Chains A and B, each alone.
Chain A
Amino acid sequence: MSEAARTPFVESLREAAAAAALPGRGIGWLDAARCENLDAFLAAGLPDTRNEAWKYTALRALAQRPFALGDAQAASRPVEAAALALAGIDGPALVFVNGAFRADLSRLDDLPAGLSLEPLSQVLAGEPEPLRFALARLYRDGGEAFARLNAALAGDGAVLRVAAGAKIAQPVRLLIVGAPAEGELAWHARHVVELGEGAELELIEQHLATGEQRHLGTQVSDFVLREGAQLRHVLLQRAAAGATLVRRSGYRLEARAQATLHALELGGALVRHDLAAELAGDGARFVTRGVFMPTGRQHIDTQLAIRHQALGTASESIWRGVADQRGRGVFRGAIVVAPGADGSDASLSNKNLLLSGQAEIDTKPELEIYADEVKAAHGATVGQLDERALFYLRSRGLPQTQARALLTAAFCRAVFDDLPDAALREHLDTLLIGQLPS
């Protein structure tokens, strides 16, 4: 073990792991994978900025902080139902508070035919074998420290399956709630989502806080879309202002499958999201639309990696970043068109706005093409609000702050224009306006 890895962060998690009584203990392959991932994490610790994937996101301060494993009182932390409600949307919901499943807050009765929605802890106690492929994975790259940690320590999460041909009309909600506790704790969530052939699902994933806390949350989600399946994934991230949240979402799309992600990243102190998509089957299509808005001293890092591996696959990514005060945004969009993925179409655009002199956004589009007849376009910009537009609005009587907010919201709004659900679109609009100074 390297001495560098012996940080308060790593040591606290070592102790936590030794004391943990995780669901699924005794399942041989799971114990082995947990053990191996834990050893890899303890040996290497957190990556530093020499690791390309962490170049713009320093973990030095995090490495000095110890965290307790989990929340013994997670089952009884008060959460008001109103805080979880989403206007105009009413359907199945799975709720986790500080990493623990909360049956009392979830809605799992009357599930539509073809939908199976269960907490991971329950599946592990029943028939864990179908999850083996997802949960037995070893993370070999040192940059995947949090995925290792998650694999070693995650005890719960959502297991969502849609049967072949089932089209689920109501959106399913996944709520990840952070609640204040006696100290700073770490929670780990592991989600597995599988859509069978031709299945359709809308999933709304929300990260919320019931009060101020500085917890660490790690989350790993796997989405598998079988042939012709369609997923609409909406992500609303409003973690507590002091929270550290590190997520990895992997999508695997088989032939003619389609996934669309709309992401709004507003909360957290140190936030990272690795989005990795594999377009594995011919004609698969992956669309992402995202907005990240760091303000105060927030650091929000999005790493998008899309791999076109089959004929005629398509990806389209439009992201907007708005950084205010001392906020820092990081965006990396890496697209690889692998050999054989002929006739693929990939586009990526990331435009950013700096609202203050101290704000910073680092953006890095990358494109690697190894196939023929590929259409690819990518671009990234960082700029300020258009002074001419600002003056135009003010000359009509809008105060400076209101004029700036109007222009900033307009800059972001275009990204969510194609969300078909008007109530949800309005909700996103309200959230992003709420992030702006009024």
Chain B
Amino acid sequence: MLKIENLHARVEGKDILKGLSLTVKPGEVHAIMGPNGAGKSTLGNVLSGREGYEVTAGSVSFEGVDLLALEPEERAAAGLFLAFQYPVEIPGVNNTYFLRAALNAQRKARGEKELDSMQFLKLVREKLKIMQISDELLHRAVNEGFSGGEKKRNEIFQMAVLEPKLAILDETDSGLDIDALKQVAEGVNALRSPERSFLVVTHYQRLLDYIVPDYVHVLAGGRIVESGDKSLALKLEEHGYAWIAERHPEFAGQALVGERA
């Protein structure tokens, strides 16, 4: 589904990703862990096509298509979804209106029939049940005045409606208390399916207690330095990111040393 090969990317003239490779198959959940500054958020931004992220080498293919050649909206229509670490507040744009416009834009781009307001409402009602989201949020402007937990739940709700093939969760756990974290994880788990893959980017192991990954990768210095199953996350939790530095002396002296997971 997703094949990243030797990806190099820079932001504001600074090399952040330095040879990242990763393959995700349909239905798999991959966790990407790593210390602050390792390039975790950069990966999500590069994959979703944010401006200002320059790919200097490597390739990304998504369902056989060169993902990097597509505009952000084309990537969305192709089935990619990024749940933002910091969802943006958009005053004046109604949440439901926005979501219907987004879904219909994607459907149009894929040559599918657009949904009328009745069909859309029916879809939304189904998804609301999964997300346990209050429909009051739907009538408000996108993310405006939402609490941290509401914003993250709204991201997952959007994902439920847009039904992507690959969802990237960018530090979705950040800023959430344990109850909100559980709710978000339940929403994600409800969307797991053999056709849908997830890339769960997180700093902490905690989220992975609730969204259990098939694979865990450690990102450090702009590339994946360790891969394993979910036990790798527990090992990191136990030893901290300093353990990575010990196993990879090339990182000695860099910021990740001494940082605890």
Contact = CB atoms under 8 A, between A and B. Distances in A.
A296 interface: no
Contact of B76 (A387, A388, A397, A411): A397
B71 A392 contact: no
A423 interface: no
Contact of B90 (A387, A395, A397, A410): A410
A389 B101 contact: no
Contacts of A397: 73, 76-77, 102-103, 105-106, 109, 162
Nearest to B77: A397
Contacts of A391: 50-51, 72, 88
Q: Which of A388, A397, A406, A409 has the most CB of B within 10 A?
A: A397
B82 interface: yes
A137 interface: no
Interface of B: 48-51, 71-73, 75-77, 81-82, 84, 87-88, 90-93, 98-99, 101-103, 105-106, 109, 141-142, 158, 162
Contacts of B51: 387, 391
B76 A407 contact: no
A403 B106 CA distance: 13
Contacts of B99: 396
Nearest to B91: A410
Nearest first, the 6 closest Cβ-Cβ pairs linking A and B are: A410-B92, A397-B76, A397-B106, A396-B102, A394-B72, A392-B88
Contact of B92 (A392, A394, A413): A413
Contact of A395 (B49, B103, B109): B49
Contact of A398 (B81, B84, B92, B101): B101
Contacts of B158: 396
Interface in A353-388: 386-388
Nearest to A388: B88
Given A397-B109, A410-B91, A392 B84 contact: yes
B48 A395 contact: yes
Interface in A198-244: none
Contacts of A411: 92
Nearest to B78: A397
Given A397-B109, A402-B105, A392 B90 contact: yes
A386 B142 CA distance: 14
Contact of A389 (B49, B88, B106): B88
A399 B105 contact: yes
A386 B88 CA distance: 10
B73 A399 contact: yes
Nearest to B87: A392
Contacts of A386: 88
13 contacts: A386-B88, A387-B51, A388-B88, A395-B72, A396-B102, A398-B101, A400-B71, A400-B73, A406-B93, A407-B90, A407-B93, A409-B92, A411-B92
Contacts of A410: 90-93, 141
A362 to B, nearest CB: 25
Given A402-B105, A406-B93, A413-B92, 13 more contacts: A391-B51, A393-B102, A395-B48, A395-B50, A395-B76, A395-B84, A396-B162, A397-B109, A397-B162, A399-B105, A403-B73, A410-B90, A410-B141
A414 interface: yes
B220 to A, nearest CB: 26
Contacts of A389: 88, 90
A437 to B, nearest CB: 16
A398 B73 contact: yes
B108 to A, nearest CB: 9
Contacts of A400: 71, 73
Contacts of B90: 389, 392-393, 407, 410
Nearest to A399: B73
B50 to A, nearest CB: 6
Contacts of B73: 394-395, 397-400, 403
B165 to A, nearest CB: 13
Contacts of B76: 394-397
Nearest to A415: B92
Contacts of B92: 409-411, 413-414
A403 B93 CA distance: 11
A391 B46 CA distance: 12
A398 B87 contact: no
B111 to A, nearest CB: 14
Contacts of B142: 392
A410 B101 CA distance: 14
B78 to A, nearest CB: 10
Interface in A96-139: none
Contacts of B49: 394-395
B105 A398 contact: yes
